[in-house]
Structures are given as C-alpha cells and as structure tokens.
C-alpha cells in the first residue's frame, strides 16, 4: 500500500488565497493524503471557509482553545501532534502545490530509506498567479552540508520539502517563541539529524504579494536569526568560519533594517560588525560583485 502523507497548513486571514491551496492538495496525483489545516484565529472569513471544507470531508480542521491566535509555530505544532503520516509536507495557506509534487517525492524517499528530507524548486508567483522566477535557481546543486544551509539559508521548509515523520520526531517541534524564521530554524535542525537531498524541478508555487513581510517583520526575523545561530552553535559541531560568517550576514541584514528605520548610528555599527566578520564578502557587496538582496 502507498504510505500516508500528512499535509499540514497553518492558516491566518488568507481567505483570498487559501481555496487555491486547498485545491492543489485535493488535486494531487497521489491518493494517500491526510490534509490537516490549523486555523490560527482568523477573522476574515478563512475559518468559516475551512469549516465548510471540513464538513465536506476535504480536510481536518483544528483550532487552538477559544480560537486564539498563537502564531505559525504553534499552529504547525498542533498539526504535527495530529499527523499520522509516514511523511510530512508543510504548505503555507497562500501557496500552491504542483500536481505531482507528493507522488514524486514519496517515490524518492521510498527508494532511498537513508534520506530524511527531499526538496525541490519553488516558482515564485505574483498575487494573481503570474510566474516570476524559480527558487533556488536552475543551476542549484545541493552539497548536503549543514554548514552551508546554516550560512546561506537557501531553502525554507514550507511547500518544497517532504520530511519523514521519524525525522521530525528527532528534530522536535517548531520553536513557538519565534514569530519569524521558525522555518529556517527547523530546516537547520532537520539537516543536523538526517541526510537531505535536492531534486530539480518545480514542486510548488510561492506567492509574493502586498502582504509580504514588513520592515518590522524583517527586524523580528534577523533578531530571531541571532538566537537561532546561538542555539545551533551549542547543538552541532559547525565550523567556526560558518558561525562567524553567518553572524556577519545577520549584522548586515540588521544594518539594512536600521538604515530604512533612519537609525543611522545603529546601522553603521551593524555594517562595521558585518565587515569585520566577513571582509571578503563585504567587499564583494561594496564592489558590486554580489548583490545585497
């Protein structure tokens, strides 16, 4: 028999897009799917839409007590506690799965029992569904090194990846104190406990729209990044150069945030820390050889 796959979607005020996300799961070429959606206190009609889907048997809907808004990590953890599949897929409520994503990734993991996680490409799309660019780029090669993943944060967990439930059991739950970067924290922890591979090809569509992360959200992301790095250093034997360069990158990102906030002295301090931590990369950015995305 085909193994069961649990698809978990955290949802908060996504009534405009979530129907497409649901349809992309229901239309998969793979049949053994358990679809779990956790509403995180939506107030825009998302909860009512999901309740109708639940009553039709299209998904299993869960909420926090009193329908509280506890954040994405808490929603994902609630979904994981109810998941019974051999494999886990996390789909954000405004993204869309490729029709063959689950069947292809299950086939790979079933034939490679030593691999804990497989991921593919996302196609970035606009709010109206227009294709923009692939993530990662078409020439991407996965080195399978946790050092590289911690340093450059080149993949995120939602949409593109499929992870063995047994690997989640080893890595633990999402960190609920993080209101940003919890996906990067989790994928780093997964890479520390299990081998992971990349299969070229689009497996989901990542929506970029006007509700994307704000400057305040970016500040939360990079503050969380420093804590993620500190925890990773205690947990795993990363190279000292990886820790130093990642810290430099985080200082650079905080410098950008402070610059846009017009906190110029703070921005300058972070840029200096970035330059001292990774002078080669800093010079490449200054000279235009590397883009400061």
Q: Count Cβ atoms below 10 Å from residue 69 Cβ, excluding itself.
A: 14
Distance separating alpha carbons of residues 188 and 147, to the nearest angstrom: 9
pTM score: 0.92
pLDDT tens for each residue of 148-168: 999 988 886 777 999 999 999
Distance separating alpha carbons of residues 47 and 149, to the nearest angstrom: 35
Output the average pLDDT for the chain: 92
Per-residue confidence (pLDDT) for residue 287, from 0 to 100: 61
| pLDDT of residue 122 exceeding 80 | yes
Per-residue confidence (pLDDT) for residue 292, from 0 to 100: 55
User: CA angle, corner 89, sides to 85 and 90, nearest 5?
Assistant: 125
Q: Where are the alpha helices (DSSP H) in the chain?
A: 18-26, 46-55, 72-82, 101-111, 146-152, 165-171, 182-193, 215-235, 240-260, 264-277, 279-286
pLDDT tens for each residue of 200-246: 999 999 998 766 554 458 899 999 999 999 999 999 999 999 999 99
Overall average pLDDT of the 172-195 stretch: 94
Per-residue confidence (pLDDT) for residue 212, from 0 to 100: 54
3-state secondary structure of 129: coil
Query: Which CATH architecture fits 5-207?
Result: Alpha-Beta Complex (3.90)
- Ranges of each domain in the chain: 5-207, 215-286
Is residue 128 very low, low, confident or very high in pLDDT (cuts 50, 70, 90)?
confident
Per-residue confidence (pLDDT) for residue 214, from 0 to 100: 45
Share of the chain above pLDDT 90, in %: 84
| pLDDT of residue 133 exceeding 80 | yes
pLDDT tens for each residue of 59-117: 999 999 999 999 999 999 999 999 999 999 999 999 999 999 999 999 999 999 999 99
């Amino acid at each position: 028999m085909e193994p069961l796959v649990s698809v978990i979607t955290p949802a908060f005020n996504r009534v405009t897009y979530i129907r497409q996300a649901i349809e992309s799961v229901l239309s998969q070429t793979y049949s053994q799917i358990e679809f779990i959606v956790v509403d995180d206190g939506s107030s825009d009609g998302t909860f009512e839409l999901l309740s109708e889907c639940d009553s039709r048997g299209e998904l299993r809907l869960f909420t926090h007590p009193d329908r509280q808004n506890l954040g994405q990590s808490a929603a994902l953890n609630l979904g994981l506690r109810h998941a019974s599949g051999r494999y886990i897929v996390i789909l954000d409520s405004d993204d869309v799965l490729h029709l063959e994503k689950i069947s292809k990734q299950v086939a790979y993991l079933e034939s490679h029992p030593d691999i804990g996680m497989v991921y593919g490409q996302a196609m970035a799309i606009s709010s109206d569904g227009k294709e923009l660019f692939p993530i990662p780029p078409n020439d991407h090669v996965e080195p399978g090194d946790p050092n590289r993943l911690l340093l450059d944060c080149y993949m995120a967990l939602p949409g593109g990846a499929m992870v063995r439930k047994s690997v989640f059991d080893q890595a633990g739950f999402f960190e609920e104190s993080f209101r940003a970067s919890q996906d990067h924290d989790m994928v780093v922890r997964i890479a520390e406990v299990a081998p992971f591979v990349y299969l070229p090809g689009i497996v989901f569509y990542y929506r970029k729209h006007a509700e994307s992360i704000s400057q305040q959200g970016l500040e939360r992301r990079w503050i969380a990044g420093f804590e993620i790095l500190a925890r990773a250093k205690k947990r795993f034997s990363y190279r000292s150069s990886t820790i130093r360069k990642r810290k430099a990158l985080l200082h650079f990102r905080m410098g950008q945030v402070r610059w846009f906030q017009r906190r110029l002295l703070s921005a300058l301090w972070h840029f200096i820390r970035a330059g001292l931590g990774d002078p080669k990369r800093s010079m490449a950015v200054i000279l235009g050889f590397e883009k400061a995305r």
